[in-house]
Amino acid sequence: MIDSEKLYTKIEIYIQKCLRGKTPFKDTSDFIQYIARKEQAKKSKLENQS
């Protein structure tokens, strides 16, 4: 089973390393929430097309 806290921490470190502060988001959690909303919108769009 995946430890979600450990996974979140790894992703957060990776994003911070890659972006190096060059982002309009205040912190990594804002960025992750943004990505989650975009993915949900994509999923909804695909379901509506079916």
The one-digit pLDDT tens for each residue of the chain (50 residues) are 678 889 888 888 887 787 776 667 777 778 788 889 989 988 888 888 86
Burial class, 11, CB count within 10 angstroms (exposed 0-12 / middle 13-18 / buried 19+): middle
**Count: domains in the chain:** 1
At residue 25, the pLDDT reads 73
Name the residue range of residue 12's domain: 4-48
Q: Output the pLDDT for position 21.
A: 65
The predicted structure's pLDDT at residue 50: 66
3 state SS for the chain: CCCHHHHHHHHHHHHHHHHCCCCCCCCHHHHHHHHHHHHHHHHHHHHHHC
